[in-house]
Amino acid sequence: MDTNGHNPDTIVKSTKQDRFQGHDYYNLDALLETEHLLVRDATRAWVKKEVSPIIEDYANRAANPRHLVKGLGEIGAFGPSLPAKYGGGGMDEIAYGLMMQELERGDSGVRSAASVQGSLVMYPIYKFGSEEQRMKYLPKLASGEHIGCFGLTEPNSGSDPGSMITNLKDDGDAYILNGAKMWITNSPIADVCVVWAKNEEGRILGVILEKGMKGLSAPEIKGKWSLRASCTGELVFEDVRVPKANVLPNVQGLKGPLSCLSKARYGIAWGAIGAAMDCYDSALRYSQERTQFGKPIGQFQLTQKKLAEMITEITKAQLLAWRLGTLANEGKATPAQISMAKRNNVLMALEVAREARQIHGGMGITNEYPVMRHMMNLETVLTYEGTHDIHLLITGMDVTGLNAFK
Ligand code: TGC
Ligand code: FAD
């Protein structure tokens, strides 16, 4: 039984063929290397086979397609840019971005699972963990044998994570953890949790928790109209005894979790393009097949305006992501540049989804088409990993040198 009491064996598989094809108006494929194209096409084929036939059913039931985790591990979606020694794929940042694009073309929740596992759980263990921690946790997370979650947000600390109250008290060879995290992707099903908490000096440390630790619970958050095929929960810590060996030794302060966010936000900047392309693709086909007043609706100027603007915005977002990817490969992408791309591309995708919904008329509100699901998902994507307005203020701070947060 899944968390809603349904038998997961009774999945309603769609018989509708996924006719998606990528859109590349400026021949950006010419800028990609053969490896990028192979990764992109392999991920696209996996999504067509594994995600498209089942995603509407799972989203409809607000159930989590947990069985996809193993497949995500097999295609290398967890930590694609980490070294092979730890189970990663050793890919570059553009290959990672293209993978996120294709996963989010399937569903933002599927991309979320990959973002959290790879960028928010594996990356901090790789970057800030000891060699023992890396060898203990990374291979199982990379293969999908274990599921991870990342706990930063709290009920009273969302955009301002520095105000967190979750705390660690020294107790000899361990810390005692108390507090709570909120809105945590995959927490109810996680085997491993990377949690950020303040020590007695008020410094933020990262700790690794394991499922089953006494005092750790992870109730599910229900009633979401967005990311319905993704599992979200709380993390509650009641005197959890965390061995000091589980502290990430190589970072202190907010820059620890924020540098993980930079990695995940980068992936979202690409991912959102996937959701937008799927909406555009569906709307373009619908406009050619649907006839009113004796002609295809795509022949009306107002429909053409919508489609022309959609592909223009998608193309601009693709260029932004590609350039950001080349900077990231050179180690030169700044957090503020990543914020700009996340903010621009997610709003672009949401606006494309809204226009695509109109082109589909009444059919656009049904799960016959992917558009409304993407639109609802993108409302979350606009908010998590830093809200739309927080990213605007990060850009504002970068260009003016003046800090609106303090
Ligand atoms: P501030 O004083 O500016 O910075 C503190 C320290 O952090 C450094 N830093 C960064 N380092 C790496 N990458 C970044 N993006 C960084 N941004 C800042 C900074 O240099 C400083 O370092 P140091 O050495 O001087 O200590 O911090 P602040 O308290 O003023 O906050 C700034 C603000 C508002 C921009 C930041 O806190 C923020 O980004 N807020 C948004 C919170 C957020 O994004 N939460 C996301 C939670 S996780 C999530 O949503 C996962 S969804 C997953 C899914 O399902 O896909
Ligand atoms: P708030 O911070 O309370 O913001 C509310 C509004 O106030 C927003 O519009 C915001 O832009 C605005 N605002 C706040 N401060 C300012 C300011 N200084 N100036 C102008 N406007 C401001 N978190 C995790 O740690 N791990 C996860 O895995 C995770 N997964 C998530 C999954 C889902 C489905 C969702 C919805 C959220 C998830 N989050 C996760 C939490 C997410 O990162 C937060 O929701 C987000 O950072 C915003 O925090 P908040 O919801 O508390 O909103």
Over residues 104-148, the pLDDT tens digits come to 999 999 999 999 999 999 999 999 999 999 999 999 999 999 999
**What are the phi and psi torsion angles at 88 (to 5°)?**
-75, 175
Q: Tell me what pLDDT residue 13 has.
A: 83
* Minimum CA distance residue for ligand 1 atom 35: 394
Over residues 316-335, the pLDDT tens digits come to 999 999 999 999 999 999 99
CB 162 within 8 Å of CB 154: no
Regarding the beta carbon of 153 and ligand 1, being less than 6 Å apart is answered yes
CB atoms within 10 A of CB 35: 13
CB 250 within 8 Å of CB 319: no
385 is catalytic: yes
Which two structure tokens, joined as six digits, stand for 245?
A: 């060996």
Over residues 373-399, the pLDDT tens digits come to 999 999 999 999 999 999 999 999 999
* Minimum CA distance residue for ligand 2 atom 21: 389
Over residues 223-266, the pLDDT tens digits come to 999 999 999 999 999 999 999 999 999 999 999 999 999 999 99
Residue 5 pLDDT class (50, 70, 90 cuts): low
Query: Which CATH homologous superfamily contains domain 148-246?
Result: Butyryl-CoA Dehydrogenase, subunit A, domain 2 (2.40.110.10)
> pLDDT at residue 9 above 80?
no
Average pLDDT over residues 12-16: 81
Q: Which residues pair with 296 in a beta bridge?
A: 291
Average pLDDT over residues 162-173: 98
CB 271 within 8 Å of CB 103: yes
> pLDDT at residue 6 above 90?
no
Over residues 266-286, the pLDDT tens digits come to 999 999 999 999 999 999 999
Domain 255-400 has CATH 3.30.420.40: no
Residue 11 pLDDT class (50, 70, 90 cuts): confident
Q: Tell me what pLDDT residue 7 has.
A: 60
Q: What ligand has the least distance to the C-alpha of 227?
A: 2
Report the C-alpha gap between 187 and 8 in whole angstroms: 20
**What are the phi and psi torsion angles at 65 (to 5°)?**
-75, 70
Q: What ligand has the least distance to the C-alpha of 149?
A: 2
CB 108 within 8 Å of CB 381: yes
Report the C-alpha gap between 218 and 298 in whole angstroms: 49
The model carries a pTM of 0.97
Over residues 36-59, the pLDDT tens digits come to 999 999 999 999 999 999 999 999
Residue 389 Cα: closest atom of ligand 2: 11
Q: Which of 287, 354, 314 is nearest to 25 (CA)?
A: 314
Per-position b or e across 296-312, b if 16+ CB within 10 A of its CB: ebbeeeebeebbeebbe
Q: Return the percentage of the chain with pLDDT > 90, whole number.
A: 96
* Minimum CA distance residue for ligand 1 atom 1: 254
Mean pLDDT of all residues belonging to the chain: 96
Which two structure tokens, joined as six digits, stand for 330?
A: 């050179």
Q: Return the percentage of the chain with pLDDT > 70, whole number.
A: 98
Q: Where are the domains of the chain?
A: 28-143, 148-246, 255-400
Residue 12 pLDDT class (50, 70, 90 cuts): confident
| Domain at 28-143, CATH from 1.10.760.10, 1.10.540.10, 3.40.190.10, 1.10.20.60 | 1.10.540.10
Q: Tell me what pLDDT residue 1 has.
A: 55
